[in-house]
A = this chain, B = another copy of it.
C-alpha cells in the first residue's frame, strides 16, 4: 500500500535507503509562485547535520540537496518538486558480521517479519538517514510558512532526564554550531556531562523535544478526524524512535481540574480575542486558536549501544550482540531529531494552511 508520504494537499513522498545510491523527496502540491532555490534548502539541512552538534556520529555526508524539478526562473511552478541527496560516505561492510542477529530496539526483525527481507546496509529504509529528506522537503514548507509570517522554533526540553527551565517566547532561538539546540545554558552543561558519561559507558540517552509555532492563523485544522493535533501526532509519531506526544500541557492536563485547565478568553492590547494562558498549546477542538502552537515529543534512547546485549539469531540460537568497535551511532538521536520534529510540524502546518482555503464558500 502506498504509504511513504505525508500530507493531503502539500504532499511529501520520500524514497531511498541509507546505503543506496541516493535518497530523495518529491513534493506534490506546492502552489506556484513561491521563490525557491537550493540554498533555501541547504541552509535548513545544516540544522540536522552531524557536524553541527557535539555528540553526533562522524558520518561525513556533505548532504547537499539538489532540486531536480518544479522550479523555473527561481519560482515554484506548481509542478512536483523533486529533491535528491546522493549518498557518499557508505561503509556497509562493517555491519555484515551481525546481520544474523535480531538487534534489540532495532528494525531488522520487524522488517524481516513483514517483508521476508531486510536491507542490512545501514538499516536501509529504516535508517535515520531517511529523515534528511523530511528536513529537505520541510524547507520548502517553511518558505511557504515564512511567506505567511509563521515562525517555528524547536529545542531540546529534556535530555537524559535533565530538563530546561520554562522558556519565554522563542521566536528568535537559534542553536549555534557546536552547541546543543537548547536555550537553557545551565541545563545544556549538565546534558553534555550526561552525554559524555553515556558515551563512555557505551550506552545511549533519550530526550524530549519541544516545538513551538508563532503567528499561526486561527482556524487551521479540520474537526473530527483531521484535527490539527491529530495530523501533528501522525507526523510526529512517524519520526523514528518517537514514543510519546503532548499538545500543550499534555499529560499534566489529565491531572488538573477543568476550572484550571481551561484557557480563559480575554482581549489583547489590540482588542483582539486571545487567551490568558496557553495550556491547550494553541489547539482547541482540533482547530488552531491563535495562541502559540506547542508540541512535545518523547524520543527513546538510540537502540544501537556498544554495551553487549543478549539476543537471538535469525535461526533462533541464543547469542550476544556486540556492535563492532567502529560502528557509528549517536549517543542521543534526540539531538538531531530537533530538526526532524520541526520539519514534521512545518509540513503539517503548511498542509493545514492550504486546506484552510477550502473551508468557506
Interface range, A side: 35 or more
Min CB gap A194→B, angstroms: 10
- Do A15 and B105 touch (CB < 8 A)? no
Interface of A is mostly: mixed
Q: Given the complex of chains A and B, what is the CA–CA distance between A253 and B243 in angstroms?
A: 8
- Do A32 and B298 touch (CB < 8 A)? no
Interface hit among A4-12, A43-51, A182-190 = A4-12
Q: A139 on the interface (CB 8 Å rule)?
A: no
* Among candidates B4, B117, B255, B311, residue contacting A80 with C-beta atoms closer than 8 Å: B4
- Do A244 and B251 touch (CB < 8 A)? yes
**A-B residue pairs in contact (CB < 8 Å), sample of 16:** A3-B224, A14-B225, A15-B82, A32-B359, A33-B360, A79-B124, A110-B287, A114-B219, A116-B360, A144-B361, A206-B253, A243-B280, A244-B253, A254-B300, A256-B300, A264-B311
- Do A284 and B7 touch (CB < 8 A)? no
Oligomer: number of copies: 4
Q: A358 on the interface (CB 8 Å rule)?
A: yes
Known: A24-B68, A33-B117. A104 touches B225 (CB 8 A): no
* Among candidates B21, B206, B258, residue contacting A255 with C-beta atoms closer than 8 Å: B206
Min CB gap A259→B, angstroms: 5
- Do B32 and A361 touch (CB < 8 A)? yes
- Do B15 and A250 touch (CB < 8 A)? no
- Do B28 and A5 touch (CB < 8 A)? yes
- Do A254 and B106 touch (CB < 8 A)? no
Min CB gap A124→B, angstroms: 7
